[in-house]
Amino acid sequence: MGIFSSVRLRYAATGALCAAFILLPYLAIYHSPEALRLLSQSAFSQHLNRIFGKGSSQSSFLDGTLNFTQEELGNLQGVLKNASFKNKTVIITTLNQAWATQNSMLDLFLESFRLGEGTRDFLDHLVIVALDQVAHDRCTSVHKHCFTLRTDGVDFSGEKFFMTNDYLKMMWRRVDLLRVVLELGYNFVFSDADIMWFRDPFPHFSRDADFEIACDQYNGSPTDLDNRPNGGFVHVQANKRTIDFYKFWYKSREMYPGKHDQDVLNEVKFNSNFTDIGLKIQFLSTEFFGGFCQVSRDFDKVCTMHANCCTGLVRKIQDLRLVIEDWKRYKSMTDLEKQLQKVYWRAPRECLHSFGG
325-347 confidence digits (pLDDT tens): 999 999 999 999 998 998 899 99
Pair 86, 45 in one domain: no
Average pLDDT, the chain: 82
- Of 283, 299, 323, which marks where a domain is finished? 283
Q: Determine, yes or no, domain membership for 42.
A: yes
Which pLDDT score, from 0 to 100, does residue 215 have? 97
Return the CATH number at 167.
3.90.550
Q: Determine, yes or no, domain membership for 276.
A: yes
Residue 81: CB atoms within 10 A of its CB come to 12
H-run or E-run covering 82: helix 70-83
Q: Determine, yes or no, domain membership for 289.
A: no
More confident residue, 62 or 203: 203
Pair 35, 126 in one domain: no
Q: Determine, yes or no, domain membership for 241.
A: yes
Q: What is the dihedral of CA 214, 219, 224, 229, to 10 degrees?
A: -30
- Of 223, 252, 283, which marks where a domain is finished? 283
Looking at the structure of the chain, the number of domains it has is 2
Pair 90, 26 in one domain: no
Pair 93, 203 in one domain: yes
Q: Determine, yes or no, domain membership for 173.
A: yes
CA distance readout (Å), 208 to 104, 107, 247, 338: 37, 34, 21, 35
Pair 47, 78 in one domain: no
Q: Please give the Cα distance from 323 to 252 (Å, whole number).
A: 36
Q: Is the pLDDT of residue 1 over 80?
A: no
pTM (whole model) above 0.85: no
What is the pLDDT averaged over residues 72-100? Answer: 95
Pair 38, 121 in one domain: no
Residue 355: CB atoms within 10 A of its CB come to 13
Which pLDDT score, from 0 to 100, does residue 156 have? 52
Pair 48, 138 in one domain: no
Pair 262, 167 in one domain: yes
Q: Please give the Cα distance from 229 to 69 (Å, whole number).
A: 33
Pair 118, 267 in one domain: yes
Q: Determine, yes or no, domain membership for 191.
A: yes
Q: Is the pLDDT of residue 73 over 80?
A: yes
Q: Please give the Cα distance from 227 to 213 (Å, whole number).
A: 10
Q: Is the pLDDT of residue 23 over 70?
A: no
Pair 127, 213 in one domain: yes
What is the pLDDT averaged over residues 54-69? Answer: 47
Query: Radius of gyration of the chain from Cα atoms?
Result: 21
Domain extent for 111: 74-283
Pair 46, 95 in one domain: no
134-178 confidence digits (pLDDT tens): 999 999 999 999 999 876 555 555 444 444 566 677 777 889 899
Pair 202, 136 in one domain: yes
Which pLDDT score, from 0 to 100, does residue 117 have? 97
Residue 39: CB atoms within 10 A of its CB come to 15
Q: Determine, yes or no, domain membership for 139.
A: yes
Q: Determine, yes or no, domain membership for 291.
A: no
Which is nearest to 193 in space by CA: 319, 327, 93, 90?
Answer: 93
Give percent of the chain with pLDDT exceeding 90. 62
Q: Please give the Cα distance from 14 to 319 (Å, whole number).
A: 49
